[in-house]
Amino acid sequence: MMVFNDGKLGRQRILRAKTLAEMLSPQNQRRAVGFRCPLGPGLWLLPILDYAGKNAWHQGGEGMWNSVMLILPEHKLGVVGCLSNRRRAGG
């Protein structure tokens, strides 16, 4: 919600608009990190949906749980999905 409201949640400012813009901008353009993927702080900016404009995403998991968050700022659309759990081999 804050991404689509320039850092505000309701009437309360949580992030400065400048901070939010930095989060959605590549931070590793001049740094060799071993692969060519634009990264924002905590976000992958690789266009996994190249027809949808700018996008940011994050995925993660712990043990048996996995999740993905995808943000399409130009469309004011955010999705948290692919929530899953799995059994470990042998467990």
Does 1 reside within a domain? no
Residue 56's domain spans which residues?
A: 8-85
Does 50 reside within a domain? yes
What predicted TM-score, i.e. pTM, was given to this entire model? 0.66
83-91: long-range contacts (C-beta < 8 A, 24 or more apart)?
A: 88/63, 88/64
33-37: long-range contacts (C-beta < 8 A, 24 or more apart)?
A: none
Does 91 reside within a domain? no
Domain count, the chain: 1
pLDDT tens per residue across span 26-63? 887 766 665 677 778 888 887 776 778 888 888 887 77
Does 56 reside within a domain? yes
Q: What mean pLDDT do residues 1-17 have? A: 88
Does 72 reside within a domain? yes
Does 58 reside within a domain? yes
Does 90 reside within a domain? no
